Amino acid sequence: MGEIALPQDVISKTNIIDEVYGDCLADKSYENMKDRAILAPLNKDVNLINCELIDRLPGEEKVYFSFDSIKDMSEGTLQFTTEFLNSIDIADLPPHKLKLKKNTIIMLLRNLDVSEGLCNGTRLIVTELCNNIIIAKILTGEHFGKAVHIPRITLDSSKGKLGCTMQRHQFPVTPAFAMTVHKSQGQTFQFVGVDLRVPVFMHACLYRRIDVLDSNW
């Protein structure tokens, strides 16, 4: 499939972080970030963008480390070092090293309590970081503005290339200033930046993402 040229009026000449979030950071209007997002094809690019945005937030950073293991170890199961398990970075698990600050936008990666609005994909803003609990406010849906407590849980990975299920005990969230095009499914934003430094071959997927925007991007 050939490359598709984008219209010049949708191509930003400035840093994508400044373009999407610059005014919110300058004005400290952090809750206004709920209607914005940066989309990228690859998880590694998403992680870099999220790390830079967290660095730009004022305040002290808190780091949470996961405990990783292999589920149902058996005699025939390959042996993996703790360091190797810690290094695994896949979209359906939170990072081993979870770095957050107050006012970080996060996304839930599992259903915790659907009746209370804590569903996979729910976006929240961090209000307080405790040792064993993250306190945050829901940013979407009928539970908008509700304060919730998020505990650590044990999450199972898909088997994938490991050939076995990995378990990660961690807060079931990931920073969500930026997200993959795939992870944005079901989300609606007012303002979006799309990082296309890496070609997006799933053009239909990209068009579908753009189609759900309310007006501006």
Mind listing the pLDDT tens digit for each residue in 108-150? 999 999 999 999 999 999 999 999 999 999 998 899 999 999 9
* Better pLDDT: 154 or 206: 154
pLDDT for the residue 8: 43
Instruction: Report the 10 Å Cβ neighbour count for 98.
Output: 18
- In one letter, which amino acid is 112? L
pLDDT for the residue 186: 77
pTM: 0.84
Whether 209 shows a pLDDT value over 90: the answer reads: no
Question: Taking the mean position of all CA atoms in its chain, how far away is CA 114?
Answer: 19
Cβ burial 45-79 (10 Å sphere, 16+ → b, else e): bbbebbeebbeebeeeebebebebebeeeeeeeee
Q: Cite the beta strand spans of 71-164 per DSSP E.
A: 97-100, 105-108, 123-129, 133-138, 147-151, 153-156
Whether 174 shows a pLDDT value over 90: the answer reads: yes
Of 46-50, 55-59, 201-205, the least confident = 201-205
What phi-psi label fits residue 153: left (phi over 0), alpha (psi between -120 and 50 degrees) or beta? beta
How is residue 81 annotated by DSSP?
-
Residue 140: name the closest of 21, 6, 33, 23 by CA: 33
Whether 187 shows a pLDDT value over 90: the answer reads: no
Instruction: Report the 10 Å Cβ neighbour count for 99.
Output: 15
Report domain extents, the chain. 8-211
**pLDDT over 90, % of the chain:** 58
Q: What is the mean pLDDT of residues 9-34?
A: 81
Maximum average pLDDT range among 40-44, 67-71, 156-160, 198-202: 67-71
52, 21 Cβ separation under 8 angstroms = no
**What's the mean pLDDT when you consider all of the chain?**
84
How is residue 71 annotated by DSSP?
S
pLDDT for the residue 74: 65
178, 37 Cβ separation under 8 angstroms = yes
Q: How confident is the model at residue 198 (pLDDT cuts 50, 70, 90)?
A: low
